[in-house]
Amino acid sequence: MKNRYITFSKNIFIPVTNVCRNACDYCGFRARSFEDAYVIGVTEFLNLVHTRGAATEALFTTGESPELSYLSSFFKNRLIEAGFTSLVECARELCTLAIEHGLLPHCNLGVLRTEELKALRDVNASMGLMLETTAELEAHRRSPGKDPEVRLKMIEEAGRLQIPFTSGILVGIGEEKEDRIHSLEALKSLHEKYGHIQEVIIQPFWPKPFTPMWNKKQPSFGEMKDAVRAARELLPDDIAIQVPPNLTSPKELIELGASDLGGISEKTIDYINPESPWPREAELRRIIAPFELRERLPIYPRFIKKGWYSELLSPLIERYADEDGLRRKDGI
């Protein structure tokens, strides 16, 4: 199937906290000591919001279950100082503030319980959780939240709650080609049941300094092409295949079926991959030509048409979306 256009969104990246219970061998985001741990404050968050430029999306990322981390005392003290009792309570307040300032939230907070998903649903245009892989890997030996069954259960819960959802696989962390196929099939099965997955990211492993996998080679471009090709063949057409343009060369992957480039920010870095800056919009257009680039919102058009969003978000979606459910070209 040929793509009519290639989509992307404009966001600001909000790293709520880098305290995490998992200790993945490839992660450079997770705090390793009290000295490099942080929890964003409301004032700091608002300072980011006020420099959002043309962004319509507030992307919230955190470490997973920071209350269960060995740095939990630091995290809990910072929450108390800010007037919160839990990560979800903090995230809900920040999402509410984002909406008040014209941004549509998208939370990726790691594994959440059903009641936590319910608490965040009405203040999020969409939510996400990378499946990464269904394989049991050495890279995840110290990461209880990377249990595939646990992650698939949350993705299924999001489907039951009709939350427009983003997931994806991570290529090159020790899995085999057959594992990628199995992971994509697992996501396909959940989508066929609930119809809630709007995009699947095919993301390459990127070595990070001071991590156990620093000396491991990133996946070859051939492996990335195989993964994108398999995703497009396996997944239903209504699921977009997303490739991050700051981590890979997108045009050949678009020719194999990728149709989305994810969120890019003019004002904030990619805190997960800080060494890899996002290309500017004009550069994206040049890189993917002759494919047409179209801006979208964090909620995909078909979910706008289905009404899979709350009344809190309705004024912003009506303000930003055109008749096709994409971003209005007049910039309103």
The answer to whether the peptide bond before residue 66 is cis (omega within 30 degrees of 0) is no
In a domain, 185, yes or no: yes
Per the domain annotation, does 14 fall within a domain?
A: yes
258 has pLDDT over 80? yes
Does residue 330 sit within a domain?
no
Nearest 5°: CA angle at 302, between 298 and 306? 105
For residue range 31-66, list pLDDT tens digits in order: 999 999 999 999 999 999 998 899 999 999 999 999
Q: Percent of the chain having pLDDT more than 90?
A: 93
Strands 240-242, 126-128: pairing is unpaired
User: Given this model, what pLDDT does residue 2 score?
Assistant: 55
> The domain spanning residue 62 has which CATH number?
3.20.20.70
Digit-coded pLDDT (tens) for 278-298: 999 999 999 999 999 999 999
Mean pLDDT of 303-313: 98
pLDDT of residue 330: 76
Quote the pTM value: 0.96
From the list 190, 301, 168, 318, the residue with the least C-alpha distance to 243 is: 168
What does the alpha-carbon distance between residue 87 and residue 95 come to, in Å, rounded to a whole number? 12
| Tally of domains in the chain | 1
Q: Is residue 332 part of a domain?
A: no
In a domain, 329, yes or no: no
In a domain, 212, yes or no: yes
Instruction: Judge contact between 9 and 297, C-beta under 8 A.
Output: yes
Task: Answer yes or no: is 215 within a domain.
Answer: yes
pLDDT in tens, 79-138: 999 999 999 999 999 999 999 999 999 999 999 999 999 999 999 999 999 999 999 999
pLDDT for 1: 44
**DSSP H/E element including 81:** helix 72-82
DSSP string, 159-226: HHTT--EEEEEEESSS--HHHHHHHHHHHHHHHHHH--EEEEEEEE----TTSTTTTSPPPPHHHHHH
331 is a domain residue: no
Tell the residue number behind the tokens 């899979």, with chain if given.
Answer: 308
Query: What are the pLDDT digits (tens) for 213-241?
Result: 999 999 999 999 999 999 999 999 999 99
Domain containing residue 178: 6-320
Structure tokens at 108: 């990726």
48 vs 33: CA distance, rounded Å = 25
**Mean of pLDDT values over 251-266:** 96
